[in-house]
Amino acid sequence: MISRRILLAALLFSITLTSFSTSAADALDFTLEAATGNSITLSNYKGKVVLLDFWATWCGGCKIEIPWFMEFAEKYKGEGLVVLGVSMDGDGWQSVKPFIKENKLNYPIVLGSDSVAERYGVDAMPMTLLINRHGRIASSHIGLTDKSVFEDEIRTLLLGK
């Protein structure tokens, strides 16, 4: 059972990371296997706004946010948004592929790795980053975040701000 101190620390950490950064760090590149069998390399999306979501099939907050991300993927694809899901499920495609099919995910899903999770500091899910067109992390959200926060940040990044 998680202690209240840990939950409070996670909440405070989440609040700290949810605002736009004026000194954004470069998004660390990776190449991971996609559900289609192809490989996806993050740096190939430079020039696009990327919503990068670290999630798992067992994560309650993830299941709430994924339909929003599907909506954003469809609504803003013509303006340059790419949604990319990084599954952190321990059993790999065994859980993920049925989840993709059942929920009709409309954006690419890749299998995460321990090294990518470590490089991005993923220790709780969902963890969602918004990456600007220059490949720099504009915002990071740990835990369930309000849909309007994501959409406001997406719109701002799509406008180039």
How is 23-47 classified by DSSP, letter by letter?
SPPBPPP-EEEBTTSSEEEGGGGTT
Q: pLDDT band at 160, cuts 50/70/90?
A: confident
SS3 50: strand
Average pLDDT, the chain: 87
What tokens does 99 get?
């989840």
Contact (CB, 8 A) for 24 and 132 = yes
Q: Which of 42, 50, 59, 122 is catalytic?
A: 59
What confidence tens digit (pLDDT) does each residue in 124-148 have?
A: 999 999 999 999 999 999 999 999 9
Distance, in Å, from the CA atom of 105 to the CA atom of 21, rounded to the nearest integer, reads: 29
* Whole-Å CA distances, 82 to 4, 5, 44, 114: 36, 36, 11, 23
Q: Which of 27, 35, 42, 62 is catalytic?
A: 62
Single pTM value for the model: 0.84
Tell me how many domains the chain contains.
Answer: 1
Residues facing residue 131 across a β-bridge: 50, 137
Residue 3 falls in the annotated catalytic set:
no
What is the pLDDT at residue 4?
40
CATH number at residue 74: 3.40.30.10
Domain ranges, residue 102 = 4-158
Residue 8 falls in the annotated catalytic set:
no
Residue 154: which of 67, 61, 71 has the closest Cα? 71
What is the pLDDT at residue 6?
35
